[in-house]
């Protein structure tokens, strides 16, 4: 096999090696392991493709993006945690989806904050002590659609307050009420 032909054959794999390294999540040794080659081989490939130049270009681009959209991204996160939906805010702040995909990362805590804030927006305390639900209803029961399986607003309210995701029932007779003082655990079985 001639040298040129040899490089032509392995070229696609080398490109993939460069791409994987440029994701910035893996060491040369990690990349080597993924492709069944040595760390030294990866090093050679990266040298040949002038990867340092490309890496710098990537990093500079990130910096420029963040300088331009960093503030908007912070506002997006703040409003998301306050219970607003992502898409309308993204449109309003004119953040390109490329930027959102790249930089908007939610932790479990962010998501919980969002859901709890969204929940709190639907509470209307009444003079009689009940807290009536102003959100959606299904068959007359308050629902909080976090996921498609468990939508009971009572259940979610109990969970946010007590950290326990269990079946609960209303004890005050007001079907609109989601006051956790007006509910109790349902005995299953």
Task: Provide the binding-site residues for Zn ion, judged by CB under 5 A.
Answer: 130, 172, 174, 177, 179, 182
CB of 183 to Zn ion, least distance (A): 8
Expressed in angstroms, the distance from the first to the final Cα of the chain is 73
Count the neighbouring beta carbons within 10 Å of the beta carbon of residue 37: 17
The minimum distance between CB 172 and Zn ion, in angstroms, equals 3
User: What distance in Å separates the CA atoms of residue 89 and residue 72, rounded to the nearest whole number?
Assistant: 10
C-beta closer to Zn ion: residue 16 or 182: 182
Minimal distance, residue 164 CB to Zn ion, in Å: 20
90/143 with CB nearer Zn ion: 143
Count of other CB atoms within 10 angstroms of residue 154: 24
Cα–Cα distance for residue pair 50/54, rounded to 1 Å: 7
The answer to whether 130 and 177 are in contact (CB under 8 A) is yes
Q: Give the C-alpha separation, 4 to 144, whole Å.
A: 63
In angstroms, give the least distance from the CB of 108 to Zn ion.
31
Closest distance of CB 175 from Zn ion, Å:
9
In angstroms, the CA 154 to CA 188 distance is 16
Output the furthest CA–CA distance in the chain (Å, rounded): 88
Closer Cβ to Zn ion, 12 or 140, answer by number? 140
Closer to Zn ion by CB, 112 or 172: give it: 172
Q: Whose Cβ is closer to Zn ion: residue 111's or residue 172's?
A: 172
């Amino acid at each position: 096999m001639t040298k040129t032909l040899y490089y032509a054959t392995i070229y696609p794999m080398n490109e993939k090696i460069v791409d994987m390294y440029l994701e910035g999540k893996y060491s040369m040794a990690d990349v080597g392991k993924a492709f069944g080659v040595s760390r030294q081989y990866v090093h050679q490939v990266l040298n040949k493709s002038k990867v340092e130049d490309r890496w710098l270009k990537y990093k500079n681009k990130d910096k420029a993006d963040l300088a331009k959209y960093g503030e908007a991204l912070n506002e997006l996160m703040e409003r998301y945690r306050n219970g607003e939906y992502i898409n309308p805010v993204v449109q309003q702040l004119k953040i390109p989806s490329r930027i959102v995909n790249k930089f908007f990362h939610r932790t479990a805590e962010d998501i919980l904050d969002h859901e709890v804030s969204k929940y709190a927006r639907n509470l209307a305390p009444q003079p009689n002590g009940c807290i009536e639900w102003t959100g959606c209803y299904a068959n007359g029961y308050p629902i909080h659609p976090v996921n498609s399986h468990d939508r009971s607003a009572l259940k979610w309210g109990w969970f946010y307050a007590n950290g326990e995701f269990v079946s609960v029932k209303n004890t005050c007779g007001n079907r609109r009420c989601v006051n956790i003082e007006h509910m109790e655990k349902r005995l299953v079985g």
